[in-house]
Amino acid sequence: MPASRLAEHFEDLEKQTHAARLGMWIFLGSETLLFGALFGLYGAYRAMYPEAFAAAAAHNSIWIGSINTVVLITSSLTVALAVVAVRANLGRRAGVLLLVSLLFGVTFLVLKGMEYADHIHHGILPGSAYHFHELPSAGANRFFSLYYLLTGLHALHVIAGMIFLGAVSVGCFRGRYDNRYHTPVELGGLYWHLIDIIWIFLWPLLYLTRP
């Protein structure tokens, strides 16, 4: 086993893997709490402005939101297949599958950027910059402020996940991971799955709850 796989402060690879998995699960738990709090904030404002939130959601592109949902779910599949491949000692196949996942991530961000551009063109901006004349209510302003906060934070997580998967993909092509050691591939997959799960909650809240 290459010595570079074992950090200096661990006795063996098993303990290192256990610590890495525990750290990732703690991190994922903190991310879940963060988005859970934001979903609670969304629910509180939705209870205050039910009609305005429904009307504002109708101005989001249901097609972009739905296509992005399919894109992320498919990317989760390719990440899962990459984990299966590396466990079978098929490192190059795992690397290719992770690159395909990255392409899905790029597709997601491009579509999201197109929707942002359309909103900005119509004056749909967060907070005091909001000047969408068709929906001038405070409730619509709150909806789109939360929309930018939730989707912007999620997009940052997508970018972070793409960077992580990209680095892991390079390791796969270089033969760094195999059936004995593939913890980074598994951890990258866990993180990417969380990103997808968060979006599955965002999609109905921001796109489907319309009149």
Mean pLDDT of 29-42: 95
Provide the pLDDT for residue 17.
83
Q: Is the pTM of this model over 0.75?
A: yes
The CATH code of domain 13-208 reads 1.20.120.80
Cα separation of 93 and 169, whole Å? 10
Provide the pLDDT for residue 80.
97
Comparing CA positions, the residue from 103, 98, 96, 92 lying closest to residue 176 is 92
pLDDT in tens, 3-21: 467 677 767 777 788 888 8
pLDDT in tens, 113-149: 999 999 999 999 998 999 898 888 999 999 999 999 9
Comparing CA positions, the residue from 194, 205, 154, 151 lying closest to residue 42 is 205
Write down the H helix ranges in the chain.
13-48, 50-57, 62-87, 91-121, 138-173, 183-203
Higher-confidence residue of 150 and 13: namely 150
Percent of the chain past pLDDT 70, that is, above it, reads 97
CB contact at 8 A, 38 and 149: yes
In the predicted structure, residue 188 carries a pLDDT above the cut 70: yes
Provide the pLDDT for residue 18.
82
Cα separation of 196 and 185, whole Å? 17
The domain limits of the chain are 13-208
Provide the pLDDT for residue 64.
96
